Amino acid sequence: MEIRGPVLLPARREDIELHTSDDLTLVGELALPMDRDPVATLVTLHPLPTAGGFMDSHIIRKAAARLPALADLAVLRFNTRGTTSPRGTSEGTFDGGEAERRDLAAAMDLVAQRRLPHPWLVGWSFGTEVALRHGRSHPVDGIILLSPPLHRTSDAELAAWAGDPRPVVALIPEHDDYLRPAQARERFAAIGHADVIAVDGGRHLWVGENQTRRVLSEIVAAVNPSALPLPTTWE
């Protein structure tokens, strides 16, 4: 079977709820390798909910569908406050990335409670703003930024990562709608150790199997490179 599109590989999948410090319940899913412990954990942060982003946005959904089986990773995905998906609706109201810091904190609480190893933040578009603005205060191994627009992240918030030794990996599509590689290199220069990866032919939404595989491979290259290259078929 070729691994592409909506293929769902074996994993232990559990519907979860997160509870924020302002008494909201958020809905999500935790996917774990089927028959072994994960070697690392992806805490995913979805694109802008007011523009259709949610925990089932395709790259995040495919990471949860494939990477527990292909790369021994745990994948936690959830709807931030006020966001709806087939899994359900998270309580609260969208707050432009400010109160969402509480949503991230609730996700990291679950990571700690479940003793999930080596957490990494993986943000996409709006999710990158949450990761950059609020991720430094959490015990994560690093952050991976997919199509970061850098709309809501101030220069000071960006530069604050310069003094943090943890990896910052940014995947920048060649044809992004908001931030293209040349601009990204200028903005991320504030973080001397940031790894800015330009993706030829890429677009903000990473549509198509080739772009999906590239993104998932770059995530695994940062988190568990021994799992590369990712298989393209499954017995």
Count of structural domains, the chain: 1
Residue 205 φ then ψ, to 5°: -95, 0
Return d(Cα 179, Cα 126) in angstroms, integer: 13
Answer yes or no: is 64 within a domain.
yes
For residue 93, give the 3-state DSSP assignment: coil
Q: Which residues contact 158 (CB under 8 A, 6 or more apart)?
A: 132, 150, 187, 188, 190, 191
Answer yes or no: is 76 within a domain.
yes
Answer yes or no: is 232 within a domain.
no
Cβ–Cβ under 8 Å, residues 71 and 227: yes
Answer yes or no: is 55 within a domain.
yes
Answer yes or no: is 4 within a domain.
no
Answer yes or no: is 171 within a domain.
yes
Domain with 74, as residue range(s), is 12-227
Identify the helix (H) or strand (E) that includes residue 128: helix 126-134
Answer yes or no: is 235 within a domain.
no
Whole-prediction pTM: 0.98
Answer yes or no: is 5 within a domain.
no
Tell me the pLDDT tens digit for each residue of 123-166: 999 999 999 999 999 999 999 999 999 999 999 999 999 989 99
Which domain CATH number covers 135?
Answer: 3.40.50.1820
Tell me the pLDDT tens digit for each residue of 70-109: 999 999 999 999 999 999 999 999 999 999 999 999 999 9
Return d(Cα 113, Cα 80) in angstroms, integer: 19
